[in-house]
Chains A and B, each alone.
Chain A
């Protein structure tokens, strides 16, 4: 039985210590405490009280997933107008530039404004760049798209980056009331808050308080984690 949304709260409450910058991978990651035998026994007991069961391998798998948050790339073949993309959504576009295949991972921050989360062209299009598209732009295979620094590119592949269940386990611990808040139309305020937060200490309490604040803008742990990636 894998760790679910109920048991993940118990696990995270015991092991979550904040956020740190992992130099080898050049990414911000969740700081997780080492799980001692005593800690695991406590988790097991707490889980039992709510009628759940957890095993050490489940906890290990879950914490591994929290450390290396993976997403699913869902390829689509339909044409998607940028007006139909919600703030917080992440799309990956593939294209040929100067004879090579490249990809850009873009997060919608507000209507027609995207933040570059990941790029295979860091010299021309570094991470955290802001990309403004024209009103008529669409994400579609074999359609032209104008991107300021690259000019007109021919999109060869489009996919949506979709969260996995582990992000929802994180939501249930950090953002329990997320369902009450609609997604904000402008995520730049959230981005600025995260930027400020990263300049200061980012231990457990500060992180939890930031996430509770971001929750009110409808920002999920998936969007938060992906935004963190853009700062690296």
Chain B
């Protein structure tokens, strides 16, 4: 990717004299076009300051002052509010999830997750699959051998061995193990019977666990057996 950027920058250096055309105005920033490439700049005290050079194939406003920037089929996201990249244009594919306000980022078959409301990549692009729901405290990720969770507060990966499925839950981490039993795990990735019991007590013996991405909704009892 850097080669393309260097090549485009060189092109820009040799074509600086070409006048730019103002295409759109995003949050006091101007979307400029020089020939077929787009860039971004803003005026401070009548001085034009370039934010993004006119080297990109497209710049589109996505949501909450976040721009989707494309260069040679690689997609990135730029935060107009903080004037910095959230994710540089390296993604082969992105999947928007408007309901949860997230964007799934895919690079060479590896997945990550961008959270629009917190304006950051909450799951780095390293996993086989990731959740689309960023509202939970723990975000599940699928690794090559099992499932795990990313603690949204500190970004730490919590690995769980022998898991065949992980669920989306607002506060806790539930996984289904190879023996088809659903268990609650703690920050160390080990089984947490106390939480499981507390959740069971709150819900009168029936804990509902969901994996939103795979459209799975299961009701388990205190022992972790799936009832439906």
The CA-CA distance from A115 to B206 in the complex, in Å, is 22
Q: Mark A45-60, 1 if CB is under 8 A from B, else 0.
A: 0000000000000000
Q: Report B197 CB to chain A, min CB distance, Å.
A: 6
Q: Are A84 and B205 in contact (CB under 8 A)?
A: no
**Contacting residues, chain B, for A76 (C-beta < 8 A):** 193
How many chain A residues sit at the interface, stated as a range, is 20 to 34
**Contacting residues, chain A, for B194 (C-beta < 8 A):** 78
Q: B interface, by DSSP: helix, strand, loop or mixed? A: loop
Q: Are A171 and B227 in contact (CB under 8 A)?
A: yes
**Contacting residues, chain B, for A178 (C-beta < 8 A):** 227
The CA-CA distance from A149 to B145 in the complex, in Å, is 54
Identity of the chain B residue whose Cβ is nearest the Cβ of A87 in the assembled complex: B205
Q: Please report the total number of B residues contacting A with Cβ < 8 Å.
A: 18
Q: A interface, by DSSP: helix, strand, loop or mixed? A: loop
Q: Are A218 and B193 in contact (CB under 8 A)?
A: no
Q: Report A130 CB to chain B, min CB distance, Å.
A: 21
Q: Are A182 and B203 in contact (CB under 8 A)?
A: yes
**Contacting residues, chain B, for A86 (C-beta < 8 A):** 197, 200-201, 205, 222
Q: Mark B210-228, 1 if CB is under 8 A from A, else 0.
A: 0000000001011101011
**Contacting residues, chain B, for A88 (C-beta < 8 A):** 205
Query: Which residues, 60 to 94 on A, are CB-close (under 8 Å) to B?
Result: 76, 78, 84, 86-89
Evaluate whether A183 and B206 lie within 8 angstroms (CB atoms) in the complex, with A78-B194, A84-B198, A86-B201 already known: yes
Q: Are A84 and B203 in contact (CB under 8 A)?
A: no
The CA-CA distance from A88 to B221 in the complex, in Å, is 11
Evaluate whether A220 and B221 lie within 8 angstroms (CB atoms) in the complex, with A171-B227, A178-B227, A182-B204 already known: yes
**Contacting residues, chain B, for A168 (C-beta < 8 A):** 225, 227
**Contacting residues, chain B, for A218 (C-beta < 8 A):** 204-206
A interface with B by C-beta (< 8 Å): 76, 78, 84, 86-89, 162-163, 165, 168, 171, 178-179, 181-183, 185, 218, 220
B interface with A by C-beta (< 8 Å): 180, 193-194, 197-198, 200-201, 203-206, 219, 221-223, 225, 227-228
